[in-house]
Amino acid sequence: MDTANGNATTASAAPAAPAQPNGHREDPGGFKLKFCTVCASNQNRSMEGHLRLALANYPVISFGTGSLVRLPGPTITQPNVYKFNETSYDSIYRELEAKDPRLYRANGLLNMLGRNRNIKWGPERWQDWQVGMPRVKKETDKGFEGMEGGVADIVITCEERCWDAVIDDLLNRGSPLNRAVHVINIDIKDNHEEASVGGKAMVDLADSLNQVAKEEREKVGAAAFDSGSGAARASFDERVPEVIGEWQERWPNLPATWTLAWF
């Protein structure tokens, strides 16, 4: 598809309201893309995204790409370090609360962990995730609905390093599932405020992408091939870069990178 087409669709592909209020919204039903959010420790940015996307009724899971879960400690050289997949948000919460409630409340950690333990059990590591393993035993997780198959259509990372780690890992895995996945990085600074902004931006991106995917689904059969202009005929996969380009114009402070990779 050429550039002229891309511009022609700008108006039609623009989503409704970019920013959603921080809360539930009506589930419109219908087709939904499956999302996966990724940051370094699966604590702040990816969990903010996880919550927001779940509240927007998208199926979503989240991971961290670091070797360990690292949280700020009393000084910069003494971080609190935990193992992925083995430590629950609740146990981290209780440990930090016992260590120094004042400090960890003041720096927002307890607040964050309190939120996280209501979303899912504990931080998960991307590299240990077996893609395609059914996730049927996770009914209590937020965003569980629709995620049973254990695969995602869109992976959103929150930092260039995480995107690199995800792509590198996917290359190493050798793509046994033959399933295409769009991996998108959004650069979000690792603090509570930026994470919140980033979460909103993620929902905006998700809405825009889902809108396009839905349009593709609604076209049936031969009609899809013959209807209208080239842009209308373009598939979801083709329109992803265009959607990201438009999204980037709306969120110029969150530089994005995209690729199509394989699970």
Partner 1 sequence: MASTPAVPIEEQLKQLNAARKLALENSAYYDRIVKGVLPVIGPTSSIELKRWGAEFLAESLATPVLSMRDKESLTLSVLDTLKSLLESEQDDAIVLKASIAAAASAYPVVLRWIIHNSYHTEAWEQTSAIKSRILRIWDGAPAPVRLSCIKFAQRVVLAQTTSNGQEVKYGGLDISLGMVPANHPLLDPRLMEAEATGLLDRMLGVLQDNSNDALLVDATLNCLSILIRTRPSTSNRIINCVLNFNPLKLANSPMTPKNKVLMKSMEKTTRMLMINILKRHVSSRDPNNQHSGRVQQYVERLMRSRAEIFDEAGRKRQLADQAAAQYGDLKRQKMQDASAAAPEPAAPAQPAVIPPLAPGPQTLAAVFTLTNNPGLQAFDATSIPANLVAKIVARTLNTLDQSVLDFAVNGIRSRLHTLQAAAVTAAAQYAAHGAAGLPGAINPATAPLGVEEDDDDYEPNLDAAEDTEQILNKLDNAPPETALDEYADPNAALGLGPFTLAPPPLIDADVASKLSSAAASRLFGPLSSLSSEGPSKKPKAGINRLAASSYDRDSWLTVATRLATRSTFGLEEEEQEEEQTSAVKSEEGAVSHPLASTFNQSIREMLFTYILEDWRPRIEVAVAWLSEEWYNDQLTKRTGLRNAPLHYETWALRLLDGFMTFITAQDKVLTRFLAEIPELSGELLGRLKTLCGDPNTLGLAMTSLLYLVMMRPPARELALDTVGGIWVEYEEARPLAAKYLSKWRPGWVEQQMHLQAAKAVAGGGGNGAAGIAA
Can you give the binding site for partner 1, defined by CB under 8 A? 1, 3, 6-7, 66-68, 70, 76-79, 130-134, 136, 148-149, 151, 161, 164-165, 167-168, 170-180, 216-217, 220-222, 224-225, 233-238, 240-242, 244-246, 248-249, 256-262
Q: In terms of CB distance, is 121 or 262 closer to partner 1? A: 262
Distances (CA, A) of 3 to 10, 156, 229, 242, 251: 11, 25, 14, 10, 21
Pairing mode of beta strands 256-262, 180-186: antiparallel
Q: Find the shortest distance in angstroms from Cβ 86 to partner 1.
A: 16
Q: In whole angstroms, what is the distance from residue 253 CA to residue 165 CA?
A: 22
Instruction: Output the smallest distance, CB 183 to partner 1, in A.
Output: 9
> What is the C-alpha separation between 257 and 136, in angstroms, rounded?
31
Strands 180-186, 154-157: pairing kind: parallel
Closer Cβ to partner 1, 51 or 243, answer by number:
243
- Integer Cα distance of 32 and 164 in angstroms: 26
114 vs 245 by CB, closer to partner 1: 245
Q: Are 63 and 125 in contact (CB under 8 A)?
A: yes
List strands edge to edge, sheet with 256-262: 60-64, 35-39, 154-157, 180-186, 256-262
- In the bound state with partner 1, the residue whose beta carbon lies nearer, of 114 and 241, is 241
CB of 63 to partner 1, least distance (A): 15
Q: How far is the CB of 202 from partner 1 (least distance, A)?
A: 17
- For the CB of residue 101, give the shortest distance to partner 1 in the complex, in Å: 24
Within 10 angstroms of residue 258's Cβ, the number of other Cβ atoms is 18
Name which of 7 and 118 has its Cβ closer to partner 1. Answer: 7
